[in-house]
Amino acid sequence: MDWRINSMEDYNQKYEKALNNPDAYWGDIAKSFDWFKEWNSVRSGSIQDADMRWFDGAQLNITVNCLDRHLKTQPNKEALLYIPNDPSEEATRLTYKELHAEVCKTANMFKSLGVKKGDRVCLYMSMVPELLISVLACARLGAIHSVVFGGFSAQALAGRIEDASCTLVVTNDGGLRGNKTIELKKITDDALAMKECACVKNVIVHKRAGNEVSMKEGRDHWWHDLMKDMDTQCDPEVMEAEDTLFVLYTSGSTGKPKGIQHTTAGYMVWAAYTFANVFQVNKDDLYWCTADIGWITGHTYITYGPLLNGATTVMFEGVPTWPDAGRFWDIVDQYKITHFYTAPTAIRALMGCGNEFVDKYKLDSLKVLGSVGEPINEEAWHWYDEHVGKKKCPIVDTWWQTETGGILISPLAGITKLKPCHATLPLPGVHPVLMNEKGEEIMEREAEGNLCIRNPWPGMVRTIYGDHERFKNTYLSAYPGMYFTGDGCKRDAEGFYRITGRVDDVINVSGHRIGTAEVEDAIDQHPEVIEAAVVGFPHDIKGQGIYAYIIISANAGDNIQKEVLDTVTKFIGPIAKPDKIQVVKGLPKTRSGKIMRRILRKIAAHEFENFGDTSTLLDPSVVDEIKEGVL
């Protein structure tokens, strides 16, 4: 691909071109993809009007670019290498030709149940090849996929199914993770029993774990039964550039999770472009991203990005610590992984298990390491560099979000100078700005502020599913004409960016985004909880942990903490369980009734000084009581 950046000089030139002449820059890049019809305009609409559009007028199907295109040049290249949970079970390999056939068959299976363009399909599955295949099968038909991470509870699943009015749910009997089986079908059944899920007509169950499940007559179908008769050809649906490709739910600072909506052409170009340039994967390389397809990283950098580039993507079913904390490194050596992309939380967890688990492996196939999902701390960065990369692999610290579709700020492997814990420089087409409290742009080079992006980029979120007003208010209103990321950021004298973390009420727990309001709502469901306030606190492994302050009624029993944990597990899922729950008599509130979270955050972090202005507190004595009881 002639748009691949190959030096710092090349980067500078391309950055300038994308800034000064974006239509020409992105138009040229888009020409290297297959289209049914070319665009009328490269960019149209604006952030101001919340109607950003890319490649308007064009028609395409993303799966033609992920699959069919490669059948001409490399049909027998491995597209997918699948590594099962149990190390004794053999890996599955699918060539581009085989993956194409499986995707077509699956698309035909969905079609046989009436799925058509624009319908929403919920994929609530574990990390099996059929998940990646189902994602692409939806895209083949123009159906909108909504993948829900397997760690969410029945209630959370039901909320997402309802919000997008999904008509089909695809799940597994059970998901295998380490020595555990996650009963996905059972959770799906519980979700579908709720009134929210009346929209669901069919459920397809892929057999993986072999656990007992119940099948509802007329609604539930076994994947293997339906697939038997399916044809291996399925014509790709003709999609308009701005037709929706997928919805993916993510947490915000208020309210229920938002369905982040991405469209076809811009997302495709962005996924392909960023994958090629950040990771610099070559023909014989083997790239492995350890994320789950239930998160955006798995959408863009396990599924679409690698396949659009004709690379081999590795998919792993299991967990990093089973059978032991050397599992990742065992896989790297056994399969000769060259590019390895993971989250700081995994690095920190493995670092904590002891160096003997990593140092016994050669890891000499590795060329590039990546990090994503949360700020990587200095210690973890150096451990990754020394023990995994053996000081010879660049670490690309990639900053981006569900909303950005793909990476926005990151070193380009082997090209950009590295600086530990810095996402370094923006990709061409990305124009970061730091804003101060007053809403003004900070012009000094060395600065700290709220990170915004000026100008739309192709992979940018287009709206929140079913709620365009909320989309505008959340992202485009705080700083008019710009996209507000919700992150704080520093810029150094060289112009390198370092993301410091969320500046809103979102906590990043083990790289998972969790809204404090959501956890509070869940805790409030417990009948004996009168009020709850949730904040994040620094956590050695998870990055941030969840700290809940609760006020309880006189009827609450001794087991209240445990019951609260169960309530959160029920309403959101185990990933949102608070690490600490402190029972308090009151919460620090202003006279107008607003909880002063700033104070609660400080106390949770064991910082007992400099609470700032507390003169507006209704009852300052509660602060002392909370301080005394801190966990």
Specify the DSSP element, H or E, that contains 512.
Answer: strand 512-515
Q: Is 228 exposed, middle or buried (0-12, 13-18, 19+ CB in 10 A)?
A: exposed
153 vs 485 by CB, closer to ligand WTA: 485
486 vs 515 by CB, closer to ligand WTA: 486
The residues with which 120 forms a beta bridge, in sequence order, are 144
Q: Which of 508, 510, 516, 582 binds ligand WTA (CB under 6 A)?
A: 508
Residue 400 near ligand WTA by CB under 6 A: yes
Q: Which of 61, 261, 342, 401 binds ligand WTA (CB under 6 A)?
A: 401
Of 174, 93, 170, 156, nearest in space to 129 by CA: 93
For residues 5 and 277, is the Cβ–Cβ distance under 8 A? yes
Residue 373 near ligand WTA by CB under 6 A: yes
22 vs 405 by CB, closer to ligand WTA: 405
Q: Which residues contact 310 (CB under 8 A, 6 or more apart)?
A: 69, 70, 73, 74, 77, 96
Instruction: Identify which range of 212-220, 289-297, 459-467, 621-629 contacts ligand WTA by CB under 6 A.
Output: 289-297
Q: How far is the CB of 300 from ligand WTA (least distance, A)?
A: 8
Q: Which of 163, 243, 397, 505 binds ligand WTA (CB under 6 A)?
A: 397
Binding residues for ligand WTA restricted to 295-314, rule: CB under 6 A: 295-297
Residue 259 near ligand WTA by CB under 6 A: no
Residue 502 near ligand WTA by CB under 6 A: yes
Q: Are strands 512-515 and 368-372 parallel, antiparallel or unpaired?
A: unpaired
393 vs 564 by CB, closer to ligand WTA: 393
Residue 250 near ligand WTA by CB under 6 A: yes
Residue 504 near ligand WTA by CB under 6 A: no
| Whole-Å CA distances, 393 to 339, 340, 349, 568 | 9, 10, 21, 41
Residue 398 near ligand WTA by CB under 6 A: yes
250 vs 303 by CB, closer to ligand WTA: 250
345 vs 401 by CB, closer to ligand WTA: 401
- Spell out a b/e string for 343-354, using b for 16 or more CB atoms within 10 Å of the CB, else e: bbbbbbbbbeee
Residue 105 near ligand WTA by CB under 6 A: no
Amino acid type, 64: V
Of 290, 317, 286, nearest in space to 84 by CA: 317
Q: Is 623 exposed, middle or buried (0-12, 13-18, 19+ CB in 10 A)?
A: buried
Residue 424 near ligand WTA by CB under 6 A: no
Binding residues for ligand WTA restricted to 525-584, rule: CB under 6 A: none
203 vs 546 by CB, closer to ligand WTA: 546
Q: Which two tokens stand for residue 449?
A: 């502020």
Q: Which of 399, 479, 483, 547 binds ligand WTA (CB under 6 A)?
A: 399
502 vs 602 by CB, closer to ligand WTA: 502
Residue 167 near ligand WTA by CB under 6 A: no
Of 528, 570, 569, nearest in space to 546 by CA: 569
Residue 84 near ligand WTA by CB under 6 A: no
Residue 372 near ligand WTA by CB under 6 A: yes
SS3 for 15-78, per residue? HHHHHHCHHHHHHHHHCCCCCCECCCEEEECCCCCCCCEEEECCEECHHHHHHHHHHHHCCCCE
Binding residues for ligand WTA restricted to 459-488, rule: CB under 6 A: 485-487
Residues in touch with ligand WTA (CB under 6 A): 250, 295-297, 371-375, 397-402, 423, 485-487, 499, 501-502, 508, 513
